[in-house]
């Protein structure tokens, strides 16, 4: 069995008593060792040096009533036992230096003695697992004649032991994750698990977060929802500031981000605070952060780590304490290898990285998102639009089929719903309206194929390598790349590309087949996905 160890302060008032009558008084530290059903193997007793004589007397009394209890005294001198910072710091240092051995010993923290500040600090340290134990609270006897041991209660801060409290916390967590998903009852298991994790990170951390995924996957909306959730929990007091780094160009990039002083350059007629200072106390979302130049990246890194930066033309640093969420549709590790992105900045952003899948990789979520877009249209336009049953069935059959590419992801879906709702006669989307929209989407995606093949492969392989590939193979390779980027995994892409082979049972390993095809062009899955 494990040894039972109790830790607590000496009660300068409650534990006092010099004469034999002290045995008639309830003294909590002594009573701790008088409980019939609670044996204490070791007591770590903390006291001020001025209370040494009382501590010695208590240790002697415990030796009388519980000879098997070892008492170890610890001197802790506090200038002000009611100063929260001093008490917490002293107990924190005590806990960090204490040789806890949870495999061999179980720990009880006595919160009966000590000031209220000390009791609060014990609670916080135990809740944060700096002290791997439980709290114990002793109470005096309720009536005379019951002896002087009194009673005790043990509080286990592991909330899983308390079903009602745990249920409440689970409900609040579900509420938070639903909020992050804009209330959409998504069905994709991997996406739901990712949102659950994002909720925990958002509530417990102020570290930078990196959201990756294709354009239109919802990075901007998710960043704003994270901000609104943290703001509702009083974790942020400032504003949500969003910037698309792809829109920042030339010398004005530094000014836009970090601000400038009057006269810093031609045309700088007044001071400018800049986006980083505008986000002070709030959240800064930097979409397409990979588009920043190396100089701006270096300054962003310092601003994240030190909360300070130098505005353009200034000789005095500005200060801003913000949380950063960065977004990108590129593989920044590839940019690091090519010298386009700073390795140290990526390392700082990469603590929490979440990859948002495209709409085509979450086809089971198209239906709930369809309802969400209809609701948004109603709020925006003040008109409630609904599908005819047959029209809804036909649209969903098309939208969830492998042939539906959703190249712009949720932007495609939002635009599609807006068009059908706007053209709906009498507030009802008909089969005819759906047929027209399907034709419009297919035509749009095909047009994108025709004009985008050269540019798509050039971005991926470079002009020289593309020119070395036969035109026929270029068209085929471009289609493979598009399907890969719209799929959540190598296997999922293989199932789309080799669907006919699967039906004919001519293909047994779609992922391996796709991997070998990409290797013919010196490509791999990750490289294709991120471009």
Q: What is the pLDDT of residues 311-365, one digit of tens each?
A: 888 889 999 999 999 999 988 998 999 999 999 999 999 999 999 999 989 999 9
Which residue(s) pair with 240 in the sheet?
A: 283
Task: Please say whether the beta carbons of 136 and 111 come within 8 A.
Answer: yes
Query: What three-state secondary structure class fits 253?
Result: helix
Rounded to whole angstroms, the Cα distance separating 487 from 495 reads 10
Q: Could you list the pLDDT tens digit for every one of the 531 residues in the chain? A: 899 999 999 999 999 877 778 888 899 999 999 998 999 999 999 999 999 999 999 999 999 999 999 999 999 999 999 999 999 999 999 999 999 998 999 999 999 999 999 999 999 999 888 999 999 999 999 877 667 889 999 988 765 555 666 666 667 677 778 888 878 889 999 999 999 999 999 988 999 999 999 888 999 999 999 999 999 888 999 999 999 998 887 778 888 999 888 877 777 778 888 899 999 999 999 999 999 999 999 999 999 999 999 988 888 999 999 999 999 998 899 899 999 999 999 999 999 999 999 998 999 999 999 999 999 999 999 889 999 999 999 999 999 998 888 988 999 999 999 999 999 988 999 999 999 999 999 888 877 655 456 666 776 777 778 778 887 788 888 888 877 876 767 887 887 787 777 666 555 677 888 888 888 888 887 777 665
Rounded to whole angstroms, the Cα distance separating 55 from 47 reads 7
Domains of the chain: 3-161 (3.40.50.10770), 169-355 (3.40.50.300), 361-448 (1.10.8), 453-530 (no CATH)
Strands (E), 329-402: 352-355, 386-387
pTM of structure: 0.65
Query: What three-state secondary structure class fits 266?
Result: coil
Rounded to whole angstroms, the Cα distance separating 487 from 412 reads 16
Distance of CA 353 to the CA centre of its chain: 9
Percent of the chain with pLDDT over 90: 56
φ, ψ (nearest 5 deg) of residue 485: -70, -20
Number of neighbours of residue 388 by Cβ within 10 angstroms:
16
């Amino acid at each position: 069995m494990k040894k039972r160890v109790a830790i607590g302060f000496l009660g300068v008032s409650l534990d006092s008593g010099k004469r034999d009558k002290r045995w008639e008084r309830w003294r909590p530290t002594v009573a701790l060792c008088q409980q019939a059903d609670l044996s204490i193997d070791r007591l770590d007793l903390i006291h001020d040096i001025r209370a040494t004589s009382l501590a010695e007397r208590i240790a002697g009394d415990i030796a009388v009533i519980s000879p098997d209890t070892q008492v170890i005294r610890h001197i802790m001198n506090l200038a002000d036992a009611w100063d929260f910072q001093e008490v917490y710091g002293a107990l924190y240092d005590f806990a960090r230096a204490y040789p806890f051995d949870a495999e061999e010993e179980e720990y009880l923290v006595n919160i009966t003695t000590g000031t209220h500040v000390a009791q609060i600090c014990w609670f916080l340290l135990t809740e944060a697992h700096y002290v791997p134990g439980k709290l114990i609270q002793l109470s005096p006897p309720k009536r005379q004649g019951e002896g002087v041991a009194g009673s005790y209660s043990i509080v286990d801060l592991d909330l899983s032991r308390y079903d009602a409290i745990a249920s409440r916390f689970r409900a609040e967590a579900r509420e938070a994750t639903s909020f992050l998903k804009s209330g959409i009852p998504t069905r994709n298991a991997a996406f739901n698990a990712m949102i659950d994790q994002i909720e925990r990170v958002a509530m417990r951390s102020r570290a930078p977060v990196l959201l990756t995924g294709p354009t239109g996957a919802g990075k901007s909306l998710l960043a704003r929802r994270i901000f609104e959730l943290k703001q509702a929990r009083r974790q942020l007091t400032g504003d949500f500031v969003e910037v698309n780094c792809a829109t920042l160009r030339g010398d004005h990039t530094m000014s836009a981000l970090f601000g400038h002083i009057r006269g810093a350059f031609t045309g700088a007629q007044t001071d400018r605070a800049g986006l980083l200072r505008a986000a002070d106390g709030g959240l800064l979302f930097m979409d397409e952060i990979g588009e920043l130049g190396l100089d701006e990246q270096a300054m962003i890194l310092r601003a994240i780590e030190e909360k300070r930066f130098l505005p353009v033309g200034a000789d005095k640093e500005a200060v801003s304490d913000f949380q950063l969420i960065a977004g990108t549709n590129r593989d920044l590790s590839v940019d690091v290898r090519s010298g386009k992105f700073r390795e140290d900045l990526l390392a700082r952003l990469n603590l929490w990285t979440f990859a948002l899948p495209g709409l085509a990789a979450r086809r089971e979520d198209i239906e709930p998102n369809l309802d969400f877009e209809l609701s948004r249209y109603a709020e925006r336009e003040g008109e409630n639009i609904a599908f005819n049953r047959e029209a809804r069935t036909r649209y969903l059959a098309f939208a969830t089929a492998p042939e539906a590419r959703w190249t712009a992801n949720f932007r495609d879906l939002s635009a599609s719903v807006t068009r059908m709702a706007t053209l709906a006669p009498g507030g009802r989307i008909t089969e005819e309206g759906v047929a027209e929209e399907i034709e419009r989407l297919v035509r749009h995606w095909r047009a994108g194929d025709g004009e985008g093949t050269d540019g798509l492969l050039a971005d991926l392989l470079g002009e020289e390598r593309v020119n070395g590939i036969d035109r026929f193979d270029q068209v085929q390779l471009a289609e493979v790349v598009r399907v890969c980027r719209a799929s959540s995994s190598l296997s999922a892409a293989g199932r789309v590309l080799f669907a006919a082979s699967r039906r004919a049972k001519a293909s047994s390993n779609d992922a391996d087949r796709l991997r070998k095809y990409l290797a013919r062009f010196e490509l791999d899955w990750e490289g294709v996905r991120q471009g």
